Amino acid sequence: MSVDESAASQSEADRIDRLPAHIGIIMDGNGRWATSRGLPRLIGHREGYKTLRSVLLHANDLGIQYLTVYAFSAENWRRPEDEVDGLMQLITQAAIDELRVMHLNNVRVRVAGRLDELPHSLRNALIKGVETTAQNTGITFTLAINYGGRAEIVDAVRRIMREGTNPDEVTEETISRCLYNPDIPEPDLLIRTAGELRLSNFLLWQGAYAELYVVQKPWPEFTPEDLEAACQEYARRVRKFGAVAPRSASP
Ligand code: FPP
């Protein structure tokens, strides 16, 4: 991005008066995007990768602090073998190829999910990305991979039980502390593309009070401008967290 473009992004961020600190994205519709064009589904995932790249860099430029994307769910293993293999290869290659760009852009990479069930090459590439960028101070980009919200809660409960915690002392904080990335704040805004109105096991615990934003277009067509539109909409929402809206808040 040029200096001019970066300045333009900054002025756009200034116009959004209340940026979400943490955005989660369910990147849905790659398959439909491809099949509607008579293309193999994997081409849709490749296009989705390009979209992710531009959206991540734009989020970083806007000053979003955390971005978490659903790259592969714990249930996605049920897809045809060639699609699963293709996705694993795509994500492995991307993790290798993009590390330099991530680092140059001060992006801090994290992962969420059961990494021990992933192919070794992918796991190693992800761990290298996390370690190399650990001290970066720009956006924290979390790749949810082999991730399931229920599995994450199960893993947390297992850890709590292994630690021998007294059941009467288990609180919400105990569970939050045992999630995959306890230092990352809960998402403020969850975006889903391709029109479906469900969470699909994404950030179940952390997303309890997230604002939901669904767009009809499939993920390969999602643009940095769409990200800004989601942020603008978020800025208009009144968050109540179970209480009542403050008097000054607009409806
Ligand atoms: C959902 O669309 C998308 C996925 C299961 C995979 C998401 C992966 C990418 C965007 C590529 C990620 C690349 C990197 C480097 C992380 P779908 O296939 O379920 O779409 P459909 O509902 O139209 O079939």
Other CB atoms closer than 10 Å to residue 82's CB: what's the count? 11
Query: Which CATH number belongs to the domain containing residue 123 in this structure?
Result: 3.40.1180.10
The whole-angstrom separation of Cα 33 and Cα 124 is: 31
Ligand 1: residue of 30, 79, 146, 216 to mutate (most ligand atoms within 8 A of CB) is 30
Ligand 1: residue of 28, 92, 93, 111 to mutate (most ligand atoms within 8 A of CB) is 28
143, 125 Cβ separation under 8 angstroms: no
The question of whether 28 is a catalytic residue gets the answer: yes
- For 101-128, how does the pLDDT look when each residue is reduced to its tens digit (9 = 90+)? 999 999 999 999 999 999 999 999 999 9
> Is residue 8 in a domain?
no
**By alpha-carbon position, which residue is closest to atom 2 of ligand 1?**
28
> Is residue 85 in a domain?
yes
Q: Work out the mean pLDDT of the chain and round it to a whole number.
A: 93
The predicted model gives 179-196 an average pLDDT of 98
Ligand 1 pocket residue status of 29, Cβ below 6 Å: yes
Structural domains in the chain (count): 1
- For 2-18, how does the pLDDT look when each residue is reduced to its tens digit (9 = 90+)? 445 555 555 555 567 79
> Is residue 180 in a domain?
no
Confidence class for position 251, pLDDT limits 50, 70, 90: very low
**Least confident piece of the model among 48-62, 85-99, 236-250:** 236-250
By residue range, what is the domain housing residue 102?
Answer: 22-152+187-234
Q: Using a pLDDT cut of 90, give the percent of the chain over it.
A: 87
> Is residue 102 in a domain?
yes
**Least confident piece of the model among 153-157, 188-192, 229-233, 244-248:** 244-248
Could you tell me where the DSSP H helices lie in the chain? 3-15, 30-35, 41-62, 81-97, 99-104, 120-132, 149-162, 172-177, 224-236
Residue 28 confidence (pLDDT): 98
> Is residue 178 in a domain?
no
Please name the amino acid found at residue 137.
Answer: T
202, 144 Cβ separation under 8 angstroms: yes
> Is residue 218 in a domain?
yes
> Is residue 160 in a domain?
no
The predicted model gives 205-221 an average pLDDT of 98
Q: Which residue has the higher pLDDT, 29 or 11?
A: 29
- pTM higher than 0.85: yes
> Is residue 167 in a domain?
no
